Structure 1
């Protein structure tokens, strides 16, 4: 914040109001452990690798926490209530997605096949906005130097790339739920 001095020269004020600074410290000290407790109670799913749904919830929680800390207009108990509601909704949505295929499809994307038997699949790669270089990097990171040694590369729901070597493809049962993977293309 800039404040004017008597001569009209702007100066930077480090603390505008000591009471507000103490409020942030106290509310932060109370809110942070409460958030950790709520996250622990909501289960490991809340802290797992994020898909789009998880990212939205995480951003909402972060925004709520910032509002609780910085806004005098939000009472501490209202902030706690907002965090409980957000985490409760996430818990309910993930609980429902485990039990309902329809809810799961609404909330989460499906994995997509990007490489099949060493061949890059241009259509799915274009649809998912994945470049050849990104796929090649994922293959290299698995210690594979030849695409012909790759049975499949899958873009997972969290945005990561899974590489399955031809030597470890097995019966392909792990690809059952992958978009673009069908059992009729395997020998």
Structure 2
């Protein structure tokens, strides 16, 4: 076995990775700028899948000689174009939006846990309490509502304050 090939296969491969890497990165940034802020917004489940797929395509362009820059750029454009189409249709059709996005879930109402919803969403009491503390409360009884948003963040409305704050996903 040629152990040197594991660590270094030649300057041509390094050069290709550098040139194609820079060009693919610039292409991805241009496509993301063209597609708008929505592509880079807080991620819901659908957006996360698209983002992971974009990363996978970029890695393939960089590391697989069988994938040319033009093929990779086409794949990036198709994926970003499909995401734009899905979001365009989602804004205009509530039924379609329900298919591709999750709805927010009420985890706490008037200082009481909604255990069924928490179990369904796989959220623990500790996670809810952490969000309440991050918003300035101390206990579940301090919260009017805690909502699991479609992007995975927890929004907390403290009892009597009318303030609503958001804790990270």
TM-score by length of 2: 0.91
**C-alpha distance in 2 between matches for 1:146 and 1:35:** 45
Equivalent position SS for 2:54: helix
- Structure 1 stretches of 4+ moved >6 Å: none
2:71 aligned with 1:78 = yes
Q: CA deviation at 1:18?
A: 1.5
Q: Which moved more, 1:160-169 or 1:90-99?
A: 160-169
Pairing of 1:113-124 with structure 2 (within 5 A): 113-124=106-117
Partner of 2:95: 102
- Cα deviations across residues 70-120 of structure 1 (Å, max 9, x unaligned)? 111111111110000000000111111111101100000000000000001
Q: Is the 8 A contact 2:129 2:139 kept in 1?
A: no
Q: Is the 8 A contact 2:149 2:155 kept in 1?
A: yes
Partner of 1:176: none
**C-alpha distance in 2 between matches for 1:45 and 1:100:** 17
Q: Unpaired runs of 5+ in structure 2?
A: 164-169
| Aligned pairs, number | 163
Partner of 2:167: none
1:92 to 82, 85, 95: 85
Partner of 2:2: 3
TM-score by length of 1: 0.83
Equivalent position SS for 1:96: helix
Q: CA deviation at 1:21?
A: 1.0
